[in-house]
């Protein structure tokens, strides 16, 4: 741009006589107009110097996703994103309600239960808005590949991680998966653990017959490298009655088929508990800032996948999701409408969610 200005307005050096300068200005005006039209200067005036993005603890999938998203935002906007790890959403949602936490990584199950103030949440957290709907998280029990356990129903009488006081949603999701196969805590040998990291350690130490975690979690990858033959996820019952039992305990969850070989521990096509994952923001974030964040994640979408395998599903076609459980941010709605991916169905869903 600077070189164009120099050419157009004779900024390199004074020419002999004014005629040549005048000619250059006249000839250069169309060139300058073309540059401004086809290469507009982007204004980030609304963007703050820094922003926070809350995730689960370091070492888990959500933290890795948040770090990747924060990297893209920081790289292509003036805003430096600081990823803040917590034990789980119950620790940071109260601050998002006050506008003190800017963004966060939230599953569909956490979204619906926190927004309504049900199950593990003592009160509603209604200060959360979706920026984009991203990929999915697949959750399940995993065992050593040489284990004789072939399905979730065969965990009866086996040592399984329980309690998870540091991340209550893990207790909820794991008990829902047990319920889908007709089991409860009364049918297993309970091994209390504080959180997912402690559960991963207990599995590595041989104190568990099955671990509980997300597909793609660093803990599963570590276990796969530590044991000869690796580990494999157990299939979850996907029938209609099983799915209902799962949803009754863990709203916002469903089963989906994960392709064999697509991730560590998924050795064949396997049905697993599934949640959608959202990038959310406080409702106090300005519309302009929300708009710019969604815009940069749309424009630089191809940059996400190489940062973590879990971000490969965070594609443009999933950003406007007709199955979400909480409202979108108005700034996100504006951008998604401009791109033609926000439908009348989405308008109706947004209105219903805001009215609830």
Report the alpha-carbon distance of residue 241 to residue 222 in Å, rounded.
34
To the nearest whole percent, how much of the chain has pLDDT over 70?
87
Nearest residue to 223 (alpha-carbon basis) of 161, 276, 166, 281: 161
Architecture of domain 138-275: 3-Layer(aba) Sandwich (3.40)
Report the alpha-carbon distance of residue 193 to residue 300 in Å, rounded.
39
Cβ atoms of residues 51 and 82 within 8 Å = yes
User: Hey, CA dihedral for 273, 274, 279, 284, is it positive or negative?
Assistant: negative
Cβ atoms of residues 104 and 277 within 8 Å = no
Identical fold, 52-132+278-355 and 138-275: yes
The DSSP element (H or E) to which 315 belongs, if any, is none
Looking at residue 101, the DSSP 8-state letter turns out to be S
The DSSP element (H or E) to which 276 belongs, if any, is strand 270-282
Looking at residue 269, the DSSP 8-state letter turns out to be -
CA 240 to chain centre: 27
The pLDDT tens digits for 242-278 are 999 999 999 989 999 999 999 999 999 999 999 999 9
Map 52-87 to HEC letters: EEEECCCCCHHHHHHHHHHHHHHHHCCCEEEEEECC
Report the alpha-carbon distance of residue 69 to residue 172 in Å, rounded.
27
Neighbours of 110 (CB within 10 A): 31
The pLDDT tens digits for 122-140 are 999 999 999 999 999 999 9
Long-range contacts of 24-33 (CB under 8 A, 24+ apart): 28/4, 31/4, 31/7, 32/4, 32/5, 32/8
Q: Whole-prediction pTM value?
A: 0.76
Residues in the chain: 356
Report the alpha-carbon distance of residue 29 to residue 260 in Å, rounded.
59
As a whole number, mean pLDDT of residues 225-233 equals 98
As a whole number, mean pLDDT of residues 210-231 equals 95
Burial 24-45 (b: 16+ CB within 10 A, else e): beeebeeebeeeeeeeeeeeee
Report the alpha-carbon distance of residue 169 to residue 175 in Å, rounded.
10
Q: What pLDDT, on a 0 to 100 scale, did the predictor assign at position 3?
A: 45
Q: What topology does CATH give the domain 52-132+278-355?
A: D-Maltodextrin-Binding Protein; domain 2 (3.40.190)
Residue, of 356 and 205, whose pLDDT is higher: 205
Cβ atoms of residues 189 and 159 within 8 Å = yes
The pLDDT tens digits for 84-131 are 999 889 999 999 999 999 999 999 999 999 999 998 899 999 999 999
Q: How many CA atoms lie within 13 A of 113 on its CB side?
A: 24
Neighbours of 200 (CB within 10 A): 24
Looking at residue 227, the DSSP 8-state letter turns out to be S
Q: Where are the domains of the chain?
A: 2-38, 52-132+278-355, 138-275
């Amino acid at each position: 741009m600077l070189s164009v200005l120099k050419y157009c307005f004779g900024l390199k050096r004074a020419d002999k006589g004014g005629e040549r300068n005048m000619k250059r200005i006249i000839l250069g005006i169309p060139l300058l107009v073309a540059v401004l039209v086809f290469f507009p200067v982007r204004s980030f005036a609304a963007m703050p110097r820094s922003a926070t993005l809350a995730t689960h603890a370091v070492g888990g999938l959500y933290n890795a996703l948040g770090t990747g998203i924060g990297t893209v935002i920081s790289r292509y906007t003036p805003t430096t994103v600081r990823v803040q790890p917590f034990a789980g959403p119950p620790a940071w949602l109260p601050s998002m309600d006050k506008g003190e936490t800017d963004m966060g990584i939230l599953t569909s199950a956490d979204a619906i239960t926190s927004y309504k103030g049900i199950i593990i949440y003592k009160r509603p957290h209604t200060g959360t808005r979706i920026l984009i709907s991203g990929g999915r998280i697949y959750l399940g029990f995993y065992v050593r590949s040489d284990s004789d356990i072939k399905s979730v129903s065969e965990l009866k009488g086996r040592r399984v991680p329980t309690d998870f006081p540091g991340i209550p949603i893990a207790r909820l999701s794991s008990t829902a998966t047990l319920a889908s196969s007709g089991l409860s805590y009364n049918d297993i040998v309970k091994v209390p653990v504080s959180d997912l990291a402690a559960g991963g350690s207990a599995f590595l130490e041989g104190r568990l017959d099955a671990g509980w975690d997300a597909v793609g979690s660093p803990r599963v990858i570590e276990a796969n490298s530590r044991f000869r033959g690796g580990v494999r996820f157990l299939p979850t019952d996907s029938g209609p009655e099983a799915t209902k039992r799962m949803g009754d305990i863990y709203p916002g969850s469903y089963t989906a088929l994960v392709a064999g070989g697509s991730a560590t521990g998924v050795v064949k096509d396997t049905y697993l508990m599934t949640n959608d994952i959202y990038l959310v923001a406080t409702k106090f974030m300005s519309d302009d800032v929300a708009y710019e964040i969604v815009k940069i994640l749309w424009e630089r979408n191809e940059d996400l996948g190489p940062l973590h395998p879990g971000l490969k599903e965070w594609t443009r076609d999933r950003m406007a999701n007709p199955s979400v459980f909480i409202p979108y941010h108005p700034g996100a709605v504006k951008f998604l409408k401009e791109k033609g991916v926000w439908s009348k169905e989405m308008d109706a869903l947004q209105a219903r969610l805001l009215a609830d």
